[in-house]
Amino acid sequence: MKYLGKYLTTTFNRFAAKMVPIDQSRSIEAVLKNGLQMIDAETREALCSFVTAHQTANGGFMDRAGNPDLYYSLFGVYLAEALSLTEVLNNTKTYLLDFEKNKTLTGLHLNCAVVIHTKLLGRNTLPEDIHKKALHEITQEGEPVHYYSSFIHLLTLYHLNDYVAIYKLIKKIRLNKQDKALPCTVTAAELILNSVTNNPVEPTTERILSFIRPDGGFASIDKIAAPDLLATGVALYALYYVKADLRLIKPGCLSFIDSLYLDGGFRGFEFDFETDIEFTFYALLALGSLAN
């Protein structure tokens, strides 16, 4: 029965891969590369220095307290990859392997480990216990859909290339569809899932555009007036993924993103006076989504 289960899963994944194609031109990696085309050579050099400076001695990227953190390392890896910072990526491999060996991975850190590992070391080398645990946490029934987890979960399953789990995630998100207060990031995840499963995207596109604010950024939830860079990056990426027309909102979005730039990095929102790796990633993702 064990081998039959594996066979059925493999067969389903092969079939689903044809039915749910992943457009590499719209991958996060490709969009980050597009984002680099939106900045000049001086800013790109400053961005390289910013990314390098935020890597700690053990290879992990620092959080706002200056400590190495797997969550921030996820964004550091994406940025270093886009900027072709090979030495930085090699140092992160060491940090990741030490973390996998010595830490108990759960929740967000577990998802980050999966993505970083598959990017730097390949999906086939991912430890089986980490693979199984990640799938269990993402697909288990009864767990609510949180503000940010849907986007990270979708990213994790994309790197695992597991269409059975993607199908389960689709069902899980749609169970929350009755909730009128779904946040921007969950709406963005639903929009991408609708696209890859050939479901209508227009209602969700209209919904996600309701989060945009007069100064050009997207807010995280309906009741918040102030936009932030995380919601803006995720929303614009989802809209770009479904090929929405962004021409009308592009000038305002670019102005909002530019207003948060400081010395090679980006702040999260207007009254945030500290730059970090996470928001710098979302800024580049947002810029790349507006590149065409």
Which CATH number belongs to the domain containing residue 257 in this structure? 1.50.10.20
How many independent structural domains does the chain possess? 1
Dihedral angle over CA of 136, 140, 145, 151, nearest 10: 30
Sequence letter at residue 176: N
Nearest to 37 by CA among 87, 81, 82: 82
Residue 78 domain-assigned (yes or no): yes
Residue 191 domain-assigned (yes or no): yes
Residue 6 domain-assigned (yes or no): no
Residue 165 domain-assigned (yes or no): yes
Residue 14 domain-assigned (yes or no): no
| Full domain range(s) for residue 160 | 24-289
DSSP secondary structure letters along 102-128 = HS---HHHHHHHHHHHHHHT-GGGS-H
pTM (2 d.p.): 0.88
How long, in residues, is the chain?
A: 292
Residue 230 domain-assigned (yes or no): yes
Residue 1 domain-assigned (yes or no): no
Residue 9 domain-assigned (yes or no): no
Q: What is the pLDDT along the chain (292 residues), one digit of tens a residue?
A: 444 344 344 444 444 444 445 567 889 999 999 999 999 999 999 999 999 999 999 999 999 999 999 999 999 999 999 999 999 999 999 999 988 887 788 888 999 999 999 999 999 999 998 988 988 888 776 555 554 677 788 788 888 888 777 777 766 666 655 555 678 988 888 888 788 778 899 999 999 999 999 999 999 998 888 999 999 999 999 999 999 999 999 999 999 999 999 999 999 999 998 999 999 999 999 999 999 7
